Structure 1
Amino acid sequence: MKKIILVVAAIMTFMAGNAQSSKEAKQLLSEVSSKVESYENIVIEFKYGLENTAENVKHETRGDVSLEGEKYLLNIMGTTRLFDGAKLYTIIPEDEEINISSHNPEDDQDISPSKMLTFYNNGYKTEMGPVQDLKGRKIQYVKLTPIDSNAEIKEIHLGIDKQTKHIYNMIQTQDNGTKITITVNSFKTNQPLPQSLFQFKESRYKDYYINRLD
């Protein structure tokens, strides 16, 4: 996400137009954030794609995540990640192994599931992008550029459904050329989720090796 600049009278018009674009982008993101925060919980099914043409790498998979406040349950690539608000549990059935660690938000540099729908609120410059018609839906893109010039992320294009104000997809490009695309296939809100969904039951994993990292 890198920015823009351009002769006397025209410069005033250009700068005013660019400022308006940024203001419009921030307003749209604010509406999306408010919509997300109004829900008691959110259940999402998504497609995850990773591609680096220079390295001849291309991978696609599907996953799902249930979110309630900071708590989440994420299933992807045969692994389950559960955050109960204090501890993070990574459950790997293939290896019959579970990693348990305390969660420190200050150390979390990733876009975790609990931040997936609001990560853009801090640390990014914003700019309105194009509107695309995808499957009959008007998707407005917002371009996000990290304020930190040393960030591994080069830019993010966030696709927002203009009608629902829900995030449709996120296209993240890294400095090494890797492109990560997350597309929302199903977005459900205020579901009857049992509280036990976000609770770790050690008794269910009697044969697993449990690695307590702290």
Structure 2
Amino acid sequence: MNKLRVVFAFLFIASFSQAQSSEKAKALLDEVYAKVKSYDNIFVDFKFDLNNTEAGIKQETRGDVTLAGEKYIFNYLGAQQLYDGNKVYTIVPENEEVTIEDQAEDENAMTPSKMLTFYQSGHNYEMDILQNVQGRKIQYVKLTPIDSDTEIKSRLLGIDQETKHIYRLIETGKNGTKTTITVNSFKTNQPLSKTLFTFDEAKHKEKGYYIIRN
């Protein structure tokens, strides 16, 4: 009986600790979300690392994104993607073409507009390690997708404890691919042109761009 009591006590403590960890993680993510939503616009310059040792894949590049509500303009790998709140425009200067399509409906897809808010739903939360990065305290939260059919195994979200800004996202896929996005620069409430999120089709046609509508 004594052994059973010890086992039950251990299970209770473990369950209670896990619940506390989940509540703390959710509270921290709520703070981050509130901070993100308080800004009129956000500019993020980031480093992107893709690694799959088994497949021999290792890629490192940089990009930037400007966000204002759901709208965004995203520069990455020599291409630009613009979302005006209605359509997504992918502009590829190298091929002189523009693809126009609807925004992706996949809830698990990491679109630029979800980059700083994706964690609000669809995950279980748990506090992870606290890391010191050049004097900054980065608290990691482990996010496990609730949907078992997703290709994502887990995500680690590193949050600056002082600013409540996202510093790093580490995404691990079920196929072993690890994607790491590290924020180099985070600027808020910048002066933006009124036409920044407007696609000028006539201008691109004049340049000889081929327009593809999906």
TM-score range, shorter chain: over 0.9
Measure how far apart 1:136 and its partner are: 1.3
Normalised TM-score (structure 2)? 0.94
Measure how far apart 1:57 and its partner are: 0.6
Q: Deviations over 1:74-107 (max 9, x none)?
A: 0000110000000110000110010011335x34
Please tell me whether residue 93 in structure 1 is matched to residue 96 in structure 2: no
Residue equivalent to 1:169: 168
Measure how far apart 1:109 and its partner are: 4.1
- Calculate the aligned-residue CA RMSD, in Å: 1.3
Partner of 2:150, secondary structure, is coil
Residue equivalent to 1:210: 211
CA distance in 2, matches of 1:107, 1:56: 28
Moved more, 8-17 or 136-145: 8-17
Q: Deviations over 1:32-54 (max 9, x none)?
A: 00000000000010001100000
Residue equivalent to 1:3: none
Measure how far apart 1:9 and its partner are: 1.6
Kindly tell me: are residues 201 and 156 of structure 1, through their superposed partners in 2, closer, same or farther at Cα, counting changes over 3 Å? same
Structure 2, unmatched stretches of 5+, are: 1-6
Residue equivalent to 1:115: 114
Kindly tell me: are residues 69 and 168 of structure 1, through their superposed partners in 2, closer, same or farther at Cα, counting changes over 3 Å? same
Partner of 1:67, secondary structure, is strand
Structure 1, unmatched stretches of 5+, are: 1-6
Amino acid at match of 1:25: A
Matches within 5 A, 1:42-121: 42-103=42-103, 106-107=105-106, 109-121=108-120
Once superposed, which parts of structure 1, at least 4 consecutive aligned residues long, lie more than 6 Å away? none
Amino acid at match of 1:122: S
CA distance in 1, matches of 2:157, 2:121: 14
Measure how far apart 1:112 and its partner are: 0.7
Kindly tell me: are residues 44 and 70 of structure 1, through their superposed partners in 2, closer, same or farther at Cα, counting changes over 3 Å? same
Residue equivalent to 1:136: 135
Normalised TM-score (structure 1)? 0.94
Measure how far apart 1:203 and its partner are: 2.9
Residue equivalent to 2:4: none
Amino acid at match of 2:94: E
- How many residue pairs are counted as aligned between the two chains? 207
CA distance in 2, matches of 1:91, 1:109: 24
Partner of 2:43, secondary structure, is strand
Residue equivalent to 2:3: none
Q: Which has the larger radius of gyration?
A: 2
Residue equivalent to 1:154: 153
Partner of 2:46, secondary structure, is strand
